[in-house]
Amino acid sequence: MFQRDKLRIEGYAVVSDDDCIANADGNMPDSLKNDAEWKFFQAGLDAADVSVLGRRSHDATPNHATRKRLILTRSVRDVVRDGLIVLWNPQTCGILSALDAFDMPVSHLAVAGGRDIFDFFLTGEVRFTAFHLSRVRGVTLRGGTGVFSGVNRGQAAEAILEDAGYQPGPLRVLDEGVDVVSWTPAT
Ligand SMILES: NC(=O)c1ccc[n+]([C@@H]2O[C@H](COP(=O)([O-])OP(=O)(O)OC[C@H]3O[C@@H](n4cnc5c(N)ncnc54)[C@H](OP(=O)(O)O)[C@@H]3O)[C@@H](O)[C@H]2O)c1
């Protein structure tokens, strides 16, 4: 079994100018989609052993790349394995037991959201070792889903990350009007 503090946990989010990952209908709009950002995100997922998603994001995104997925849901008590998918309820068992359900050692997770899953790894017992915050400039999603729940209470994503003890790396331009900043735990 792998030690919890040895897990590499990288979060990936793409947000609007007002720090939203989805619009007021709860869907990710085309205005947030960008080829260069998609490539960056997919490379992150490819580099990890397992992708981690909330049940709604799992339902919304077909698993074309046949990646192993750890899905957070309150609909199960025990860990349930179904092919590439493991359903996990963190209220009833720890992450290492959930990862044991995969038929291989798992040391690197790519967390793809949504909001409550980003919250979970932001401040919980198992935290991000890096959070990659991509932004598409010029898009606002009034009434949308914030990248963290604090956004929907009026806080900026950067302030939430700082308050949670992360520090920003340099801004990297992915495309015209699209950039990413990688946040890591402050030392
Ligand atoms: N722009 C981006 O970077 C980005 C990233 C991710 C998603 N999205 C978009 O955002 C939308 C969905 O995101 P969302 O935030 O509404 O939903 P989500 O986080 O994908 O899924 C929410 C569900 O996850 C489960 N869940 C959440 N927290 C949990 C916890 N602590 N313990 C156990 N289960 C938990 C619950 O499932 P049950 O109801 O089964 O209990 C909950 O209903 C989609 O349109 C997606 O495309 C965008």
Give 44 Cα–ligand 1 centroid separation in angstroms: 19
Give 117 Cα–ligand 1 centroid separation in angstroms: 6
| Domain count within the chain | 1
Indicate whether 57 belongs to any domain. yes
* Residue 62 CB partners (closer than 8 Å, separation 6+): none
Indicate whether 23 belongs to any domain. no
Both structure tokens of 51: 């992708």
Give 41 Cα–ligand 1 centroid separation in angstroms: 17
Judge contact between 10 and 110, C-beta under 8 A: yes
Indicate whether 22 belongs to any domain. no
pTM of the model: 0.97
What is the Cα–Cα distance from 145 to 158, expressed in whole angstroms? 16
Residues in contact with ligand 1 (CB, 6 Å cut-off): 13-14, 21-22, 26-28, 32, 53-57, 60, 72-75, 89-90, 112-117, 120, 145
Indicate whether 164 belongs to any domain. yes
Q: Going residue by residue through the chain, which has 187 residues, state the pLDDT in tens, using 9 for 90 and above.
A: 456 678 999 999 999 999 999 999 999 999 999 999 999 999 999 999 999 999 999 999 999 999 999 999 999 999 999 999 999 999 999 999 999 999 899 999 999 999 999 999 999 889 999 999 999 999 999 999 999 999 999 999 999 999 999 999 999 999 999 999 999 999 8
CATH of the domain at 143: 3.40.430.10
- Output b/e per residue, 55-75; b: 16+ Cβ within 10 A: bbbbeeeeeeeebbbbbbeee
Indicate whether 107 belongs to any domain. yes
Nearest to 41 by CA among 65, 60, 59: 65
Helix, strand, coil fractions of the chain, as percent rounded to 5 = 30, 30, 40
Identify the pLDDT of residue 1. Answer: 47
* Residue 98, domain extent: 4-16+29-185
Nearest to 11 by CA among 21, 1, 24: 21
Both structure tokens of 36: 């260069």
Task: Return the residue whose CA atom lies nearest to atom 4 of ligand 1.
Answer: 21
Indicate whether 21 belongs to any domain. no
